[in-house]
Amino acid sequence: MVTTDEKGPLTAKKKSVIIRSCDGDEFLVSESAAVLSTSLKKILEEKEDRLIHLSDIDNKTLAMVIAYLSTHADDGLSDDLKRSFDQEFVSGKEFDVLKYLVLATDTLQVTCLCYTVAKKMADIMKNKLVEWVRREFDIQNDYTPEAEAEIRRLDAWAWDDRQLEDD
């Protein structure tokens, strides 16, 4: 366990909290990083407890969110460096990983990361086939073939001249 000192506002920044993922692993996070998440901030305001259990976020995803929070809580980094960190952070990540990440940022209410991840997901999706989208989002096609043909006909221009990707 971490010892928490209560010496007042001067040492407030040094305080830490422990966050436990649904897999049971624990992460030590500075309070200044944790409060960048609106949900964690609320929890910390409401209770003295320094251990927060997140029942729906797995290890891998939580580690990523915490890396993001810690970087953004670092006063030594310029805004430019933080911006390039954000770009680096989402680049090259699999769509599947991003799905869990966007869900976690939504739960934890980390607005700017949620925005960055959603934007990256949109960027990956934009040239994909409809079938790819259905697969990735686990959506059943509920159109009749006639109804689907009709929707395609209305925006026929959107379907031509483009190489759509399926992977």
User: Which of 32/61 has CB closer to another protein?
Assistant: 61
101 touches another protein (CB under 8 A) = no
Q: How far apart are CA 41 and CA 53, in angstroms?
A: 14
Identify the three-state secondary structure at position 128: strand
Tell me the window of 15-23, 41-49, 59-67, 113-121 that interacts with another protein (CB under 8 A): 113-121
Site for another protein (CB under 8 A): which residue of 58, 82, 103, 109? 103
Find the shortest distance in angstroms from Cβ 23 to another protein: 19
- What is the rounded CA–CA span in Å between residue 105 and residue 22? 15
The alpha-helical segments, DSSP class H, found in the chain are 31-34, 38-46, 59-73, 79-90, 95-108, 111-125, 130-136, 145-154
Instruction: Say which residue the tokens 């994909």 belong to.
Output: 128
Question: CB under 8 A: which stretch of 22-30, 45-53, 69-77, 152-160 binds another protein?
Answer: 152-160
> By rule CB under 8 A, what count of residues binds another protein?
31
CB of 89 to another protein, least distance (A): 17
According to the binding rule CB under 8 A, does residue 155 interact with another protein? yes
Among 14, 42, 53, 134, interactor with another protein by CB under 8 A:
134
Q: What distance in Å separates the CA atoms of residue 18 and residue 30, rounded to the nearest whole number? A: 9
CA distance 102 to 116: 9
Question: What's the DSSP call for residue 74?
Answer: -
Contact between 97 and another protein per CB under 8 A: no
65 binding another protein? (CB under 8 A): no
The residue with tokens 């980390």 is 110
Q: Which residues bind another protein (CB under 8 A)?
A: 99, 102-103, 106, 114, 118-119, 121-123, 125-127, 130, 133-134, 137-143, 148, 151-152, 155, 157-159, 162
